[in-house]
Each structure stands twice: as C-alpha cells, then as structure tokens.
Amino acid sequence: MLDLSRVLAGPWCTQNLADMGAEVIKIERPGLGDDTRAWGPPWLRSADGGNARDSTYFAAANRGKKSVTLDISRLEGQEIIRELAAISDVLVENYKIGDLKRYGLDYESLRAVNPGLVYCSITGYGQTGPSAHKPGYDFVFQAIGGLMSITGEQDAQGGGAQKVGVAIADLMTGMYASVAILAALNHRSVSGQGQHIDMALLDCIVALGGNQVTGYFATGKAPGRYGNAHASLVPYQVFRTADDDIVVAVGNDTQWQRCCRALERPDLAADPRWAAVTGRVTGRAQLVPELEATMSTRSALDWIARLEAQGIPCGRINDYAQVFEDPQVQHRGLRVDQRRPDGAIVSNIASPLRLAGTPPTQDKAPPLLGDAVDEVLGSLLGRSSQEIAQYRDRGIV
C-alpha cells in the first residue's frame, strides 16, 4: 500500500489497514515529513527522557508504516512513485484536486501502469461539485455538516454549538475509507480491475448524522441540541449526585421499572404518565426534576452500585487517566507500548478490532522520518546504494 496522505483522515485509514497486515509505505517530504510530526507539544519521549522529534499526534495515526522521504515535484520522485504504484495494491492520497494530475500521478495516469490499482482520494468536499475546489479542516466540516448544531448544551440553558473533542470528521472519513478500500479489493478479486474511490469529509460527517437526519427527513424539523440528554429516551443523561456526576442510560420501559426500584421510587414506577418512553420524553420537564432530586441524595459510587444491581447502564465520567485505570480497559489491552529504533517508547491506543483468526498486528512503532528509504528503493525497486546516495545528495529523498 502506497500512502501519499498526511495529517489525519488518510493516515488513520492506512494505519487501520497496517494493523490488519498491510505493508504501508508512507511517502513524506524530505526533511519535514508529515505535517503532524511538528504538531507538538505534547512530544514523544526520547530514550533519555527528553522530547523526541515527533509529536504524539503523529504517533496516534502512523504506527506500522515504513517512511520514505521523496520529493514528488521532481521528475525522479514522480518516476519512483509510478514504479511503486505499479507493484502496489492500493494508493491513498489527500492532495488538493488537480495537484497530482500535474505530476502525472492521478488515477488515470497510474491506472495505465497498474489496472488493478485501488486508488483512494480523500478531500474535504469530494472530487466534484461547486465546492470541490475549497480547502477545509475537520472543524469546518463539523460546522457545515450539521454536527455542531446538535452538539452542546441547550440554548435555553445558556449553551451553544460545540465541536466534538476529537477530529471526528477526519477519523470517520478514515474509517469509511478503510471499508471502501476493502470493498474495492474484494471486487478486484472477482473482476481483476481496480477503481477510483472518492472520499469526502463533508459526505462522512453528514452520514454520521444518522437518526437525527432521518428524523428531519420525516418531520421537516431540524433537530436541536439536547446537551447531555437524549432526544428519544428519558432518563438518558448526566445526573449530579451528592458528590459527583454520573451518566444514567435507560433504554426501554423494562429498564425504567428497574431504574425506579434502584432509586426506591415506586411512585414513579406506578405513574401511568411515565410507563412508556413516549410519555417520559414528552413529559421530561416534569419527570427529570424528580429524578434529579433523588439522585442528589446519595454518592456516585452508591448510585452506580444500586443501578448496576438492577442492570441499568450507568457510569462515572472518566478523564483519560481514569479510563486507563479501569480494570476492563486494562483487561482488553487498549494500551500498547512500542519501542522505536532510537530507543523511544511510544504508547498508543490498541486497535479495537478483535478477530479470532487474524488479529491485528501492532508490533511496529510509528516510523522515524525516512527510515525505509534504503529498504524500499533498494529491495523493492532495485536501486543501488550509489544511486540512493545520489538521490540524497540532490534532495530527492
């Protein structure tokens, strides 16, 4: 797999596939590399405890890859990309529309040297349409794609639009791109033909709207912000206890009855207004204050124990330090520590994919800049050590 992407959406996609066993050759700018290598602090820690060259942001999306520095604006660099594309199954890129065509590295050009190539382009707005030429970042797409209109506290409570705490448009585009690539490879196994995949951050963030969007289609009414409450379920929100906040998520009417037992509120359980979810949703303004008053009488741990004893999904609101102290998180092995050739330890999030027969491999740390130039150009493309040295002298690699 040839990875000509940078920052997050493309690298997230190629890291997913690297975890599943793909050989990923990451092409980076000589001397600089992926933009995110410099997106610190925080930085990776070097073997002596100081700051390493690369940021933790870069490490989050680039494990399992081989780094090749290459100036693709030079004819020699373009020729190397064509040679690599000719022997690759997949190419992923996120250049602005038309940039790679100027270098003869667009899909149609590379299809001529490898008809089976699966070529995935990732852009903000897609390859076609009136906005296709515009640049854009995750934050912009969270705004224009509708997600911020349903994220944040209710306006009546002094809230306003709020972005998600991670670059969700990038991450979801990377996930969708991974699925698209696997589908294209499956099709190639039948047809022998590759294809061009056109992935857009705008498309993916709109698709993430899910039931909120289908509700709008059905009613003509755009959904608003509910803060930590749920548009279709009550109680399904944050409650303040005597000492801390917890989340309570009642998903059906049977759970509601069990919740009332945990709260020792038989009066609420017997009230016909609250017996069905529709009544609890339409009457939330009357019901929720009753629940809030009860929840404030005991500690968070006490309520969690009582609710869990009745099978009610609930939990405290963890920061990430607390997340990785959780026994279940530790049991699932969601932290992976990797050692780089320079001795630095890179701590990363393990792949959540759990395949019994072909589990992910996560034994290769995010690469040092240009760490695989000699291997790839020498072993794969047959360049001599003298030729590679000349490339270095001329700034091509």
The pLDDT of residue 49 is: 79
State the maximum Cα–Cα separation within the chain, in Å, rounded to a whole number: 85
The pLDDT of residue 154 is: 84
The whole-angstrom separation of Cα 144 and Cα 135 is: 13
What one-character DSSP code corresponds to residue 22?
-
Pick from 77, 96, 73: nearest CA to 85 = 77
Residue 1: pLDDT over 90? yes
Residue 25: pLDDT over 90? yes
Q: How far is CA 340 from the centre of its chain?
A: 23
The whole-angstrom separation of Cα 393 and Cα 299 is: 67
User: Which residue out of 106, 170, 203, 371 is catalytically annotated?
Assistant: 170
What one-character DSSP code corresponds to residue 151?
S
Average pLDDT in the 135-142 region? 94
Q: Give the three-state DSSP class for 198.
A: strand
The whole-angstrom separation of Cα 390 and Cα 397 is: 9
Residue 65: pLDDT over 80? yes
In this structure, of 14-18, 104-108, 191-195, 226-230, the range with the lowest mean pLDDT score is: 226-230
Average pLDDT along the chain: 95
What one-character DSSP code corresponds to residue 252?
S
The whole-angstrom separation of Cα 305 and Cα 289 is: 22
The pLDDT of residue 46 is: 84
pLDDT digits (tens, 9 = 90+) for 326-378: 999 999 999 999 988 888 889 999 999 999 999 999 889 999 999 999 999 99
How would you classify the pairing of strands 195-200 and 118-123?
parallel
Contact 3, 92 (CB under 8 A): yes
Contact 366, 54 (CB under 8 A): yes
End-to-end CA distance of the chain: 19
Contact 255, 308 (CB under 8 A): no
Average pLDDT in the 130-145 region? 95
In the chain, where the domains are located: 2-207+331-393, 236-318
The whole-angstrom separation of Cα 30 and Cα 49 is: 26
How would you classify the pairing of strands 90-93 and 2-4?
parallel
> Which residues of the chain form beta strands (DSSP E)?
2-4, 24-28, 43-45, 51-55, 65-69, 90-93, 118-123, 195-200, 236-240, 245-249, 314-316, 335-339, 345-349
Contact 113, 102 (CB under 8 A): no
| Assigned architecture for domain 2-207+331-393 | 3-Layer(aba) Sandwich (3.40)
Is 35 a residue of the active site?
A: no
pLDDT digits (tens, 9 = 90+) for 227-264: 999 989 999 999 999 999 999 999 999 999 999 999 99
Q: Which residue has the higher pLDDT, 266 or 51?
A: 266
Handedness of CA 41, 45, 46, 48 (dihedral sign): positive
Q: How far is CA 273 from CA 194, 229, 251, 322, in A?
A: 58, 19, 17, 38
Q: Give the three-state DSSP class for 12.
A: helix
The whole-angstrom separation of Cα 163 and Cα 38 is: 23
What one-character DSSP code corresponds to residue 95?
P
Which DSSP string corresponds to 307-342? HHHTT--EEE---HHHHTT-HHHHHTT-EEEEE-TT
Residue 396: pLDDT over 80? yes
Contact 350, 361 (CB under 8 A): no
Could you tell me which residues are beta bridge partners of residue 237? 248
Residue 20: pLDDT over 80? yes
Pick from 349, 245, 377, 252: nearest CA to 303 = 245
Residue 158: pLDDT over 80? no
Average pLDDT in the 78-95 region? 98
Evaluate whether the domain defined by 236-318 bears CATH number 1.10.10.10: no
Whether the model pTM is above 0.75: yes
